[in-house]
Amino acid sequence: MQFSPLLAIFNPSPFQTHSEFLEVEGPFYTFAHQPGMIAFLLILCALGSIYFVYASFFIKGEQAGLKSPLALSLLLALGLGAVAERVYQQTLRQSDRPTSAVTRGVQMRSPQAPSPRLKPLALLGLVGGSAAASRRRRSSASRQRRIR
């Protein structure tokens, strides 16, 4: 069973065959063939680390987290919906495509397909949206406290 719906959207594997992988001399990690993706991910992690240092000055212990299970459920449902839609589209696309056309370093994408480099951003957006939502709730609550 070969079912890799995200394979053609972004391809983490630098190898096309098992012999390439099993006999590798040198790096064999995800995106080893895409230095741009590695650079992007590293910048993202660096920004996250800087935010952590910044946030550590302001985060105080309080009752953590989830104010509304409904909000989390909606976020999860939206995320799952997006993945399901992508799986469906990708399955359709794969069924139209000859497998031999996929060669190393060459990925076939339909013209309508969004840039693969934006996909991790979309995932982060889900998390960021959740964080922003909870921040808004807290800000609103603290404003109400101040008003009182």
Partner 1 sequence: MSPEAQEFLHTFVSESFYYWASVFMLLIHAGFLAYEGGASRVKNVLATMVKNLITLASVGLAFFFFGWWVYNAFPLFPMAGPILGPWTNPEASEAIKAAMPYVEGSYPWSSALGPNNADHMTGVFFFAFALFAMTTASIMSGALIERVKIGAYVFLSIILGGFTWLVAAAWGWNYFGWLFAKMGYHDFGCSGILHATAAFFTLGVLLNLGPRVGKYDPQGKPRQIMPHNLPLTMVGLLLIFIGFYAFLAACVIFLPGYEGETTIYGTPVTLASIGVSTTLALAAGLVGAYISAKADPFYTISGGLAGIISAAGGMDIYHPAVVMLIAFVGAFLMPKVAMFVERMGVDDAVGAIAVHGWCGVFGAVVVGVAAGGFPQGEGIPAINLGTQILGVVLFAGLLGFLPGYGCSWVMKRFDLLRVSPEEEVAGLDLADLGVPGYPEYATYEYVNEQLPVAQSSGSTKYAE
Long-range contacts of 98-106 (CB under 8 A, 24+ apart): 102/8, 102/16, 103/16, 104/16, 104/33, 105/33
Apex CA 114: angle with CA 29 and CA 133, to 5°?
85
Q: Would you call 121 helix, strand, or coil by DSSP?
A: helix
| Interface map 92-111 toward partner 1 (x if CB under 8 A) | --------------------
**Site map 47..86 versus partner 1, x via CB under 8 A:** -xx--x--xx--xxxxxxxx--x--x--------------
The residue ranges that bind partner 1 (CB under 8 A) are: 1-7, 11-13, 15-22, 24, 28-32, 38, 41-42, 44-45, 48-49, 52, 55-56, 59-66, 69, 72, 87, 120, 123, 127, 130-131
